[in-house]
Structure 1
Amino acid sequence: MRWDHLFDDLAAQLEHELRAEEADLEHEEERLRLGRLAIRDRIAALQRAADPGARRVRYRSRSGEVHSLRPLTVGRDWMAGDLDDRSGTQGVVPFSAIEALLIDRAHVAESLAASPEAPILAARLGIAFLLRDLCRRRTPLTVETTTTSVTGTIDRVGRDHFDVAVHELDTPRRERDVDHVRVIALDQVLVLRL
């Protein structure tokens, strides 16, 4: 009879030790996963959040202004979606323009959620690819940089810069209406308003 209790006690201790070891491994794996998170991952997690209030990303730009955007697409180094301003426009924000994300305490856990295993195509596309598409479509836009704002149409896109034919936003791009061409460094862009 005593042997039965002894073996039951040993089995319980062994099971407890195994569970503790598994829990330690899970905690260590979670610490490693969190250590690899990038701002892109946090924004993509908020975009997938179940709570509609969490899907709006508030951020402070390098200019010091606080903005809000509901991401519809999250690329490798940019996000695009509905801007939260009175104009109801859509915009593209490079991650390099973000000084800080402003996440409500209730949504922090959602921003840390693991991403799905299969990344979507947009997650691999850089902002230069997006700008080339806007260039092909001849989309008129407003480019806000760290120092100024300019309206026009993208003429060409290089590796680290792009050319904007500066003209009035409500005027189609015609050579006679172009005031000048501005070459803008990609790392100076705060937002592209479409």
Structure 2
Amino acid sequence: MRWDRFFEDLEGQLDSEWEAERAALDSEAERLRISRLSMRERLQVLAADAGTALTVDLADGAVLTGTLTAVGADWAGLQASDGRTTVLALDAVAGIGMPEAELLRSARADAPGPRRLAERMTLGFVLRSLARRRAPVTLHLRVGRTLVGTIDRALADHLDVALHDAEAPRRSGAIQGVRMVPLSALAWVRIEARDVGL
């Protein structure tokens, strides 16, 4: 009888050690998974459930607010309360604020599934689309300067923009100047027309 209790006690200790080791391995696996998450992947989780309100701090001190609508290869789309869409260059972001529950959910969620087309599109692709649509835009440069006009061309690493009032259509008489802008200088691009989305 004493031996039975002895073996039961040993068996209980062994079970406890196995459970502790399994919990440690699970914790380590979770730490490893989290260490591999990129900001873009976390934003993709939030964009999948449209409606996440964000406050975005940019490197130049500018602050944007809106609802996350899309995430691409190197950009994110925010829709402001006035209906205008802003395309953010992800590498111009200094910080992102959101409700704590959303922050935690974005880190806990499983890795995104197969990549959709929008997730593979680069900022240059989006800008070429805006150039085709002749949509009036506001370009906010990383140095804090703002340019308003129409993107004429979006090339490999830069774009050409015709400067004019956002309310005026791009006509030769309305153009106040033209600029060549490196894509690396862009912090965000706001589409001024409310009926033009991503």
TM-score range (shorter-chain normalised) is 0.7 to 0.9
Corresponding position of 2:53: 56
Answer yes or no: is 1:168 the counterpart of 2:169. Answer: no
Counterpart CA distance in 2 for 1:107 and 1:99 is 18
**Which moved further from structure 2: 25-34 or 176-185?**
176-185
Q: Deviations over 1:14-43 (max 9, x none)?
A: 322222222222211221222222221232
1:188 aligns with 2:173: no
- More displaced 10-residue stretch of structure 1: 178-187 or 1-10: 1-10
Aligned position for 1:120:
116
**How does the TM-score come out when normalised to structure 1?**
0.84
Calculate the aligned-residue CA RMSD, in Å.
Answer: 2.3
Separation in 2, partners of 1:124, 1:117: 13
Alpha-carbon distance between aligned partners in 2 of 1:5 and 1:94, rounded to the nearest angstrom: 66
The answer to whether the 8 A contact 1:43-1:57 is kept is: no
- Counterpart in the other structure of 2:39: 39
Deviations 1:77-135 (A, max 9, x none): 11113124xx4311111112211122444443123123333333322221111111112
Post-superposition offset of 1:58: 1.1
Could you tell me which residue of structure 1 aligns to residue 131 of structure 2?
A: 135
1:102 aligns with 2:104: no
Name the counterpart of 2:3. Answer: 3
User: Greater CA deviation, 169-178 or 127-136?
Assistant: 169-178
Pairs aligned (count): 189
Question: What 5-or-longer segments of structure 1 have no aligned partner?
Answer: none
3-state secondary structure, aligned to 1:117: coil
Q: Could you tell which deviates more after superposition, 39-48 or 156-165? A: 39-48
- Secondary structure, in 3 states, of the residue corresponding to 1:136? helix
**Residue 114 of structure 2 aligns to a residue in which SS?**
coil
Q: Percent identity?
A: 36
8 A contact 1:131–1:157 mirrored in 2: yes
Classify the secondary structure of the residue corresponding to 2:3.
helix
Selected match of 2:70 from 73, 93, 104: 73
Aligned to 1:109, the other structure's residue is in SS state helix
Separation of aligned partners in 2, 1:82 and 1:150: 20
Q: Does 1:21 align with 2:6?
A: no
Q: Matches of 1:13 and 1:153 in 2, distance apart?
A: 72
SS where residue 139 of structure 2 aligns? strand
The residue type equivalent to 2:83 in the other structure is: G
Give the TM-score of the pair, scaled to structure 2.
0.82
